[in-house]
Amino acid sequence: CVGAYSLITELEAWCPRDCEDCEDGNCDNPCADNQPERTAATCGTDECGDYLASVTDEDLSTAVEVGYPSCVNSTALSSVAIYGSMGAFYLNQYYRSVARECELSDRLALSTDIDYTTCVGAYSLITELEAWCPRDCEDCEDGNCDNPCADNQPERTAATCGTDECGDYLASVTDEDLSTAVEVGYPSCVNSTALSSVAIYGSMGAFYLNQYYRSVARECELSDRLALSTDIDYTTCVGAYSL
């Protein structure tokens, strides 16, 4: 249990945060609006990079399958057992997000393959897009969001997301990935306590995701990097609506 838990504590120690992203502000050092938890100025160090390079896929799998479940027998760390139910991919994604904020993605030893048959893998089609192709603001109709867009302001512009990193991510997602996520990954989210609401993406169909990716690529001026098909199926509701 303690060994598995060290995947969290050691990451925090070697790749420290600038602030804490706590929704209710009830933490010691809450982040300001739109402030990332980590920046390269704080954690873009050789020490952080060396630690990221030391953790393997096998380490995550062992922790999830054996280490975290054993925490149910620990008085002090029983709450940590929940990481076992989240799966190795959740930890993989967390490590990747830290490496990205610390600008040390090239030091990661973990696999970059994503299993879109899983709930977390399918959900990453949203979270990874947001991470690699960030918004300038949020288009929320009632203004009830952290960073609402002004009238007629686009959520994204090339100044913010027209990057090689965003382009590389857009180029990595295929039609097969979207279909797998919609047919298998998102429906499996109904069994997830944390991500049950994400299951709705399965009912929207692959074309909805295709259109969303295309809209992001268009705003970021990276449409030429998309690997997704540009064909539109007008026999579907979403396809017809795209007219």
Q: Give start and end residues of each alpha helix (H) in 147-224.
A: 158-161, 164-172, 175-180, 200-204, 206-219
CA distance 183 to 188: 9
Radius of gyration of the chain (CA): 19
Categorize the per-residue pLDDT at 243 as very low, low, confident or very high, splitting at 50, 70 and 90. low
Model pTM score: 0.74
Give me the pLDDT at residue 104, please: 96
pLDDT digits (tens, 9 = 90+) for 108-129: 999 888 889 989 899 999 999 9
- At 35, list the tokens: 């402030």
Categorize the per-residue pLDDT at 221 as very low, low, confident or very high, splitting at 50, 70 and 90. very high
Question: Whats the size of the chain, residue-wise?
Answer: 243
- At 109, list the tokens: 């030893």
Q: Is the Cβ–Cβ distance between 102 and 44 less than 8 Å?
A: yes
Helix (H) or strand (E) holding 83: helix 82-86
Mean pLDDT of the chain: 90
Categorize the per-residue pLDDT at 238 as very low, low, confident or very high, splitting at 50, 70 and 90. low
Give me the pLDDT at residue 182, please: 96
The residue among 140, 136, 210, 204 whose CA lies nearest residue 175 is 210
Give me the pLDDT at residue 192, please: 83
The pLDDT > 90 percentage for the chain reads: 68
Categorize the per-residue pLDDT at 222 as very low, low, confident or very high, splitting at 50, 70 and 90. very high
